[in-house]
Chain A
Amino acid sequence: MSIDTSEDGATARGDEHSADGQVARLVHPRAIRWLHWINFPLLVIMIWSGLRIYWAEDVYAAGIGSWQWIAFFPDAVYDRLDLGRHLARGLAFHFSFGWLFVINGAIYATYLAVTGEWRHIVPDRHAAREARDVVLHDVRIKKQAPPQGKYNAAQRISYTIVLVMALILVVSGFAIYKPTQLYPLPVLFGGYQGARLIHFTMTIGLSGFFVVHVLQVIRSGWGNFRSMVTGYQIEHRRPPSDTSAPISVTPVPESETHATEIEEVSS
């Protein structure tokens, strides 16, 4: 009951299958689609301008003990992306577009809360076991994918982590932006420099998610990508001969995705 039904013209419990047994089901409400796509350029601008700021004091590196695995960032990265010597412009973009990023995120969070859409995303008590099975299925150790709702358990966990990271990213950002005027906010992060480190770490984490997300979308195929543009996903269904008969719902090959990997033998 938690999917938005306000899209005009859609039947609430449609059986409007065509002759070949296909029907399109709403998976991403309009608000989610807009917020998702508006977020994309805003996040890119925020990371780009943020890296121009970071360049001026690029002290972080990843490693263990005295062994340094990777420095953030090698000169080649700064040169390739034109990040060097643009601190002031980085700040101007960051502190302008940051508001749009925050407003978009706040609308998204409010939408999730008010419509109950969050129930599709927040993991339930079965999530850990099912997420393991999703991974085993993905690497072809397990034949059968675990049952799922709109998202599988691995998606739920990673989307939830990303939303929490985004929240930490924004709060730590404000702690750096106005450490005195928002005091004691920086204390949450162990002080001003702690907030800087966490802000940076969340940026790297979010960038990592972005890479995996794009790869998974490519892997899931066109039908899945299209559903984030159009809202709908095509399902293949055999018209029921009478209402009490079993219905078989299987995905059409081109729109193969986690969300439609639903197989029902009896109902």
Chain B
Amino acid sequence: MTTERERELRAQVEDAPTISVEEFRRRSRRSFLTGAAGITGVVLGWRWLQDQPVADGIPQPLRNQLQRNETLWRNLSQSRSAPEFSAARATPIQVNGRIGIRNEIDLAGWTVRVDGPDGERLDELDIAAFEALPQRDMIIEHKCIEGWSNITHWGGVRFSDFHQRYADRVGDVPYVGLETPDGLYYVGWDMGSIMHPQTMLALRQGDAPLDQDHGAPLRIATPNKYGIKCLKRIGVIRYARERPADYWAERSYDWYAGL
């Protein structure tokens, strides 16, 4: 007995075209040859990729794709802002990177050098200069490229407010580079990212001045790039026409590292 259900289900498949067994054998041969060619293509393609010249630690085609991704996202929605949280949700952030800040420094004698795009010295500032700029608080989720994140309370100055002092003199530069005083750690930022209202030159974590482990007296903080871009203990701020060198981008990571 054929039930209604069986008929209904049969109807779903019996309209499918059929071919003779002879034709089927011909097509099978062709299909399996195509399959073998496909497998060979995948294997050769994979080998080709591994054999490409290396660009800062990864095959050039992958580096090119990271560049295309950067272009896409910079043009898509770079002015979006990350959520901010209530101060009660903030917790102390772990210390992850110590490159460029391994030695203790004398905070009283610290200054930051500001350089223009042609290497000219624009300024040499002490901490009081930053304390004199408009202060704001920002409770954001700091994200490490390793995968962990931490809701952190930062206090300090928007980079865009700091930039006002030099905007006329440097004109329309596309990049900013930052370095630790010893030059061991260095990052590059595109202007769109660093001028974002959530990119901060941080002086405080919570209400207290930064620890040296967290980059005292001045560091970058943002929810919109991975922590690898958030340089601690800023020694040099340099406007640049060319893309500045970046410590982790030279070690296989994405230069943009934007979120």
A231 at interface (Cβ–Cβ under 8 A)? Answer: yes
Instruction: From the candidates A10, A147, A149, A259, name the one contacting B19 in the complex (CB within 8 A).
Output: A10
What is the number of residues of chain A that contact chain B, defined by CB distance less than 8 Å? Answer: 69
B254 at interface (Cβ–Cβ under 8 A)? Answer: yes
Closest A residue by C-beta to B254: A91
Residue interface bits A68-96, CB-to-B below 8 A is 1, else 0: 00000000000000000001110111011
Instruction: From the candidates A26, A91, A99, name the one contacting B18 in the complex (CB within 8 A).
Output: A26
- The answer to whether A179 touches B259, judged by C-beta atoms less than 8 angstroms apart, is yes
- Considering the complex, which residues of chain A in the window 204-263 have a beta carbon less than 8 Å from any beta carbon of chain B? 226, 229-232, 234-235, 259, 262
B164 at interface (Cβ–Cβ under 8 A)? Answer: no
Q: List 5 A-B contacts (CB under 8 A).
A: A23-B19, A41-B42, A177-B259, A180-B259, A183-B81
B117 at interface (Cβ–Cβ under 8 A)? Answer: no
A54 at interface (Cβ–Cβ under 8 A)? Answer: yes
B residues sitting closer than 8 Å to A (CB atoms) are: 1-3, 5-6, 9-10, 12-24, 27-28, 31-32, 35, 38, 42, 57-58, 61-63, 65-66, 69, 73, 76-78, 80-83, 141, 143-149, 223-224, 248, 251-254, 258-259
Q: How far is the CA of A191 from the CA of B241 in the complex (A)?
A: 37
- The answer to whether A265 touches B20, judged by C-beta atoms less than 8 angstroms apart, is no
Q: How far is the CA of A101 from the CA of B31 in the complex (A)?
A: 23
- The answer to whether B143 touches A179, judged by C-beta atoms less than 8 angstroms apart, is yes
A35 at interface (Cβ–Cβ under 8 A)? Answer: no
- The answer to whether A226 touches B28, judged by C-beta atoms less than 8 angstroms apart, is yes
What B residues does A201 contact at CB under 8 A?
none
What A residues does B17 contact at CB under 8 A?
3, 5, 7, 10-14, 25-26
Q: How many whole Å from A87's CB to the nearest CB in chain B? A: 7
- Considering the complex, which residues of chain A in the window 13-39 have a beta carbon less than 8 Å from any beta carbon of chain B? 13-18, 22-27, 37
Q: How far is the CA of A267 from the CA of B2 in the complex (A)?
A: 7
- The answer to whether B19 touches A150, judged by C-beta atoms less than 8 angstroms apart, is no
Q: With A26-B17, A92-B66, A264-B6 as given contacts, are A180 and B27 in contact (CB-CB < 8 Å)?
A: no
- The answer to whether B82 touches A179, judged by C-beta atoms less than 8 angstroms apart, is yes
Closest B residue by C-beta to A86: B252
Q: How far is the CA of A183 from the CA of B57 in the complex (A)?
A: 31
What B residues does A180 contact at CB under 8 A?
80-82, 223-224, 259
What B residues does A26 contact at CB under 8 A?
16-19
Q: How many whole Å from A56's CB to the nearest CB in chain B? A: 4
Q: How far is the CA of A267 from the CA of B11 in the complex (A)?
A: 11
Given contacts A5-B17, A181-B80, 4 further A-B contacts (CB under 8 A): A14-B20, A25-B13, A26-B18, A232-B27
What A residues does B12 contact at CB under 8 A?
2, 119-120, 149-150
A9 at interface (Cβ–Cβ under 8 A)? Answer: yes
- The answer to whether A149 touches B76, judged by C-beta atoms less than 8 angstroms apart, is no
Q: How many whole Å from A42's CB to the nearest CB in chain B? A: 10
A residues sitting closer than 8 Å to B (CB atoms) are: 1-3, 5, 7, 9-18, 22-27, 37, 41, 53-54, 56-57, 59, 87-89, 91-93, 95-96, 99, 119-120, 126, 147-150, 177-184, 191-193, 196, 226, 229-232, 234-235, 259, 262, 264-267
Q: How far is the CA of A265 from the CA of B6 in the complex (A)?
A: 11
Instruction: From the candidates A13, A196, A264, name the one contacting B147 in the complex (CB within 8 A).
Output: A196
What B residues does A37 contact at CB under 8 A?
35, 38
What A residues does B3 contact at CB under 8 A?
147
Q: With A37-B35, A181-B80 as given contacts, are A230 and B146 in contact (CB-CB < 8 Å)?
A: no
Q: How far is the CA of A191 from the CA of B15 in the complex (A)?
A: 48
- The answer to whether B15 touches A232, judged by C-beta atoms less than 8 angstroms apart, is no
- The answer to whether B18 touches A150, judged by C-beta atoms less than 8 angstroms apart, is no
Closest B residue by C-beta to A25: B18
Q: How far is the CA of A10 from the CA of B35 in the complex (A)?
A: 21
- The answer to whether A57 touches B62, judged by C-beta atoms less than 8 angstroms apart, is no
Q: How far is the CA of A234 from the CA of B141 in the complex (A)?
A: 58
What B residues does A18 contact at CB under 8 A?
20-22
What B residues does A126 contact at CB under 8 A?
5
Instruction: From the candidates B6, B82, B83, B223, name the one contacting A147 in the complex (CB within 8 A).
Output: B6
Instruction: From the candidates B9, B19, B77, B146, name the one contacting A24 in the complex (CB within 8 A).
Output: B19
- The answer to whether A24 touches B80, judged by C-beta atoms less than 8 angstroms apart, is no
Closest A residue by C-beta to B226: A91
Instruction: From the candidates B10, B32, B62, name the one contacting A230 in the complex (CB within 8 A).
Output: B32
Instruction: From the candidates A13, A24, A57, A179, name the one contacting B148 in the complex (CB within 8 A).
Output: A57
Instruction: From the candidates A1, A53, A54, A182, name the one contacting B77 in the complex (CB within 8 A).
Output: A182
Q: How many whole Å from B71's CB to the nearest CB in chain A? A: 13
- The answer to whether A234 touches B9, judged by C-beta atoms less than 8 angstroms apart, is no
- The answer to whether B19 touches A14, judged by C-beta atoms less than 8 angstroms apart, is yes
Q: How far is the CA of A229 from the CA of B251 in the complex (A)?
A: 42
